[in-house]
Structure 1
Amino acid sequence: MSDLALLYEHPAWFVPLFDALKRRGIVYQALTPAGAFDPADPHPPAPLILNRIAMSAFLREAEHPIFWAQALIAQWERRGARVLNGTAALAVDTSKARQLALIASLGLAVPATRVVHRPRDVPAAAEAIGFPLVVKANIGGAGAGIARFDSLEAVRAAAADGTLPTSIDGVLLVQEYVPARDGLVTRIETLDRAYLYAIDIAGAGQFDLCPADACAVPGRAITMRAAEPAPALRAAAEAIAKAAALDLGGVEVMIDDRDGVPRFYDINALSNFVARPLEVLGWDPHERLVDRLEGWMAEAG
């Protein structure tokens, strides 16, 4: 048994991490969510396990592993493994409603939101929020399951004809549309609850803003650049990471152009780093991650 295992499902996102581990001579197991597991098995695959199951997994495979992985990771933890971004982080990652509640509990601003589990409740929630607004899937990933509405009539029609967004857990968020200042959202990445780097993502009027593969959808102009958030925003991101039990993850925030208030709206326990980091950041965060993995391996051993 090696000292490190990685559980992942995306076929390409983690190649840079695998390469960085190989350069350091670190032996690891690469595990994919296939087959079956024995809930009575007392032996986790390694003392330290890095969970990289993305919430966008359901976009790539209808028989997605999200809930299966929750059960598997819980078993590994019960059997003594240290799982990075384990069950506590997954509980937050798998619910945008939980994310907003956590952020608000820290005294930070979030977009006005109502959470529903029945499409017929969406129009009443929309009336309470006002327009424009967005309806979001509680479990999304890569911006999936988000639609903008500009009138109550449009919401009622979508609820009636079954064209509202859907979520794999049946929960929806009805949320005010926040006009982002300069059309920017900022993603702040953390490692071991501490600030790692940040990027500004231009194209905030669109929703598929995942930085890992730059969401290279034809006809959609999304650009990213290195950012230096204000100290208060860094501190807020670190507080969120601590409260969400993120060993590795990103927090997204936008400045509300109406009043200048930073509004935090998303927590990403899966942090696969920005595409082309040397171009965007000038350095490779995978090396910092491997540094910390070596420390975690020593602690787990």
Structure 2
Amino acid sequence: MSKIYILHENDEWTDHLTQRLEELNLPFELWHLDAGTLDLTSVPPEGIFYNRISASSHTRDHRYAPEFTEAVLAWLERHDRTVVNGSRALRLEVSKVNQYMALNQAGIQTPGTISAVGKENILEAAHQLGVNSFITKHNRAGKGQGVQLFHSKEALREYLDGDSFEEPVDGITLIQQYIEAPEPYIVRHEFIGGEFVYGVKVDTSEGFELCPADACSIEDLYCPTDAESQKTKAKFEVLENYHPSIVDQYKEFLKRQNIQVAGIEAIKDKDGNLYTYDVNTNTNYNSDAEEKAGIYGMLELAEYLGGLLEKAEG
């Protein structure tokens, strides 16, 4: 019997989806790809394969999950299986350089960015960027890894020479123009099946940790779980009647990149210029924000996967 296969490396991020699949009585199987073997001469089972591998897998001691998943995806695609978020999506997930090049090719503006390998070259990149305020981030990141805000080259030098410097897992640090918004928030645009589902306003006043999943937690900059959310103002808010013109560009971009499920993050500066800075193909949803809005991303995702399975079996 055909089923839905979920390719992942983090059990906490699959719970909400599997609950919805069970509610809909859809057959599924989890493939945990942090390690394993793959017989390249074998034939994959029939079904729908949904890739949920994250760029932050190495922070959970799953260093080679993306590489192993790329091998599995190549095997699945070789046999023409239906893959949601296939090889191209994975390449963008694990490389912001790839993201920015693809976004720019689609005519979508990203912040000025220079990539660098080596501490001296990070400092040189800050000089080349030629702005007073800038941030550093990891090329393969997730969970706000390596994101630091600087207002001077001297502060960057102290960071590079200090104990708090984080070495990127792929060696590539990005030095990026800091976009100062008139109000401290960004908007994350959620897509399922290539269609826009909703925009969620994310409060950034406490820092750069923007993961909307209930399970996210890093250095006390947390995504509110059901229990914790009563202690503070909502960090995530699903926007009503929100459909800006950029959505159509995002849809076309995702179509060209063969990405079906994504959360695309953007920020406006004080002059109203919109900058897109992250494409998350392992997108998660916040239950508090969705409950208030009456929109449920994981339910829509489960229905989408179920529709693909029904189509494949028909």
* TM-score above 0.5: yes
What is the aligned partner in structure 1 of residue 297 from structure 2?
285
- The amino acid across from 2:139 in the alignment is N
What is the aligned partner in structure 2 of residue 38 from structure 1?
38
Q: What displacement does 1:208 show?
A: 1.0
- Which ranges of structure 2 fall in alignment gaps of 5 or more residues? 223-231
> What SS class does the counterpart of residue 26 from structure 2 fall into?
coil
1:274 aligns with 2:286: yes
Residues 209 and 83 of structure 1, relative CA distance in 2, 3 Å threshold: same
1:140 aligns with 2:152: no
**Distance in 2 separating the partners of 1:35 and 1:137:** 24
> What SS class does the counterpart of residue 89 from structure 1 fall into?
helix
- The amino acid across from 1:67 in the alignment is E
Q: What displacement does 1:47 show?
A: 2.6
Deviations 1:55-82 (A, max 9, x none): 1221122545122211122112112322
What is the aligned partner in structure 1 of residue 258 from structure 2?
245
**Distance in 2 separating the partners of 1:99 and 1:223:** 26
Residues 39 and 219 of structure 1, relative CA distance in 2, 3 Å threshold: closer
> What SS class does the counterpart of residue 58 from structure 1 fall into?
helix
Contact kept, 8 Å, 2:48 with 2:309, in 1: the verdict is: yes
Residues 67 and 295 of structure 1, relative CA distance in 2, 3 Å threshold: same
Matches within 5 A, 1:116-265: 116-129=116-129, 130-160=131-161, 163-203=164-204, 206-213=207-214, 215-216=216-217, 218=220, 223-227=235-239, 228-257=241-270, 259-265=271-277
Q: What displacement does 1:128 show?
A: 2.1
Residues 237 and 204 of structure 1, relative CA distance in 2, 3 Å threshold: farther
Q: What displacement does 1:179 show?
A: 0.7
1:56 aligns with 2:56: yes
Contact kept, 8 Å, 2:73 with 2:87, in 1: the verdict is: yes
- Which ranges of structure 1 fall in alignment gaps of 5 or more residues? none
- The amino acid across from 1:133 in the alignment is F
> What SS class does the counterpart of residue 231 from structure 1 fall into?
coil
**Distance in 1 separating the partners of 2:116 and 2:205:** 25
> What SS class does the counterpart of residue 191 from structure 2 fall into?
strand
Give the aligned length: 300
Question: TM-score, normalised to structure 1's length?
Answer: 0.91
Deviations 1:77-116 (A, max 9, x none): 1123221111011111111111111112222221111112
Deviations 1:193-222 (A, max 9, x none): 110111000125611110012745536677
Question: TM-score, normalised to structure 2's length?
Answer: 0.87
- The amino acid across from 2:91 in the alignment is A
Contact kept, 8 Å, 1:136 with 1:147, in 2: the verdict is: yes
- The amino acid across from 1:21 in the alignment is L
Q: Which moved more, 1:211-220 or 1:264-273?
A: 211-220
Residues 145 and 45 of structure 1, relative CA distance in 2, 3 Å threshold: farther
Q: What displacement does 1:19 show?
A: 1.3
> What SS class does the counterpart of residue 109 from structure 1 fall into?
coil
- The amino acid across from 1:300 in the alignment is A
Q: What displacement does 1:34 show?
A: 4.8
Aligned CA RMSD, in angstroms, stands at 2.2
Contact kept, 8 Å, 1:92 with 1:244, in 2: the verdict is: no
- The amino acid across from 2:246 in the alignment is L
What is the aligned partner in structure 1 of residue 94 from structure 2?
94
- The amino acid across from 1:199 in the alignment is V
Q: What displacement does 1:183 show?
A: 0.6
Deviations 1:142-189 (A, max 9, x none): 111211222112223334457543221111110011112311100000
Residues 37 and 185 of structure 1, relative CA distance in 2, 3 Å threshold: same
**Distance in 1 separating the partners of 2:243 and 2:83:** 31
Q: What displacement does 1:50 show?
A: 0.7
> What SS class does the counterpart of residue 294 from structure 1 fall into?
helix
Residues 296 and 277 of structure 1, relative CA distance in 2, 3 Å threshold: farther
- The amino acid across from 1:275 in the alignment is S
- The amino acid across from 1:145 in the alignment is G
Residues 177 and 40 of structure 1, relative CA distance in 2, 3 Å threshold: same
> What SS class does the counterpart of residue 250 from structure 2 fall into?
helix
Deviations 1:232-254 (A, max 9, x none): 12213213322332111110001
Contact kept, 8 Å, 2:34 with 2:68, in 1: the verdict is: no
Percent of aligned positions with the same letter in both sequences?
Answer: 25
Q: What displacement does 1:133 show?
A: 0.7
